[in-house]
């Protein structure tokens, strides 16, 4: 197998090193990742400036772009042919619930899915110091092995979240649905030494709805969460209601 590995934490991150090492047992690993952290880049492409690629060592390429750029560069330029699998991660921090809409980690897997390539995103659910990236790598290898053995339904990629625990204490994976955060946005405004205002986009500490069957609930109980995602954002339940609107031609 040929496996393309990427992330949004940057090519020097501990998570991508652990992931690439773990997946060596499954096939040839080629790493194409941002040259620096690109967290919360979402599904953005660099369209108005050139991209530069730096080969750090054989099979490891740093790109001065987004995770989505990296998947495009890997598939269309740097690899000799399309990969059999794209794995994005291991993200330092969970990608749970609504966070997937911002996540560059998830967006990289999404981009591969758009190109018809099996893909998964992997995250370790902690933002603090951790020694468990290799343990999450073992989980990623298990899931990737099953993915390649069984395939995925059409228009589906996986979002995998691993609890911050040693491998021996991680509970069996659960197939979950996307959960929901309770999120309060906030803009922090300050003044720099020259008297000019600047702003930080942030939030208060978010909480989540601890509902059985969701990704939050599974990880909170120590299970690996595997959420199948797809790209059709249509809210089918709303269509019948909207069709009752009294809409006329302009």
**CA distances to 121, 206, 211, 213, 225 from 97, in Å:** 14, 11, 11, 12, 11
Domains annotated for the chain, with CATH where assigned, are 2-181+209-242 (3.40.1210.10)
The whole-angstrom separation of Cα 218 and Cα 203 is: 24
For 186, half-sphere exposure in the C-beta direction (CA atoms, 13 angstrom radius) is 9
Residue 204: per-residue pLDDT: 61
- 153: Cβ–Cβ under 8 A, 6 or more apart, which residues? 228
Q: How many CB atoms lie within 10 A of CB 13?
A: 21
* Three-class SS state of 119: strand
Residue 205: per-residue pLDDT: 60
Q: Are 148 and 118 in contact (CB under 8 A)?
A: yes
For each of the chain's 250 residues, which pLDDT tens digit applies?
999 999 999 999 999 999 999 999 899 999 999 999 998 888 988 999 999 999 999 999 999 999 999 999 999 999 999 999 999 999 999 999 999 999 999 999 999 999 999 999 999 999 999 999 999 999 999 999 999 999 999 999 999 999 999 999 999 999 999 998 876 667 888 999 999 999 887 666 667 888 999 999 999 999 999 999 999 989 999 999 999 998 887 7
pTM of the predicted model over 0.85: yes
* Three-class SS state of 210: coil
């Amino acid at each position: 197998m040929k496996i393309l590995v990427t992330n949004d934490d940057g090519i020097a991150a501990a998570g991508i090193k652990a992931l690439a090492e773990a997946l060596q047992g499954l096939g040839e690993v080629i790493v194409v990742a941002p040259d620096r952290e690109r967290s919360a880049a979402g599904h953005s492409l660099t369209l108005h400036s050139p991209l530069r690629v730096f080969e750090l060592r054989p099979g490891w390429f740093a790109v001065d772009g987004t995770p989505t750029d990296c998947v495009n560069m890997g598939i269309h330029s740097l690899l000799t042919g399309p990969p059999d699998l794209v794995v994005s991660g291991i993200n330092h921090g969970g990608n749970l619930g609504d966070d997937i809409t911002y996540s560059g980690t998830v967006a990289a897997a999404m981009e591969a899915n758009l190109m018809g390539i099996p893909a998964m995103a992997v995250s370790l659910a902690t933002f603090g110091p951790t020694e468990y990236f290799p343990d999450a790598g073992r989980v990623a290898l298990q899931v990737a092995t099953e993915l390649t053995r069984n395939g995925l339904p059409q228009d589906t990629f996986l979002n995998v979240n691993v609890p911050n625990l040693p491998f021996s204490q991680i509970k069996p994976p659960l197939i979950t649905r996307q959960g929901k955060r309770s999120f309060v946005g906030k803009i922090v405004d300050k003044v720099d030494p020259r008297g000019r205002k600047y702003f930080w986009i942030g939030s208060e500490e978010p909480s989540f709805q601890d509902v059985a069957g969701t990704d939050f609930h599974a990880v909170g109980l120590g299970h690996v969460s595997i959420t199948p995602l797809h790209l059709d954002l249509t809210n089918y339940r709303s269509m019948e209601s909207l069709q009752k609107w009294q809409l006329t031609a302009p």
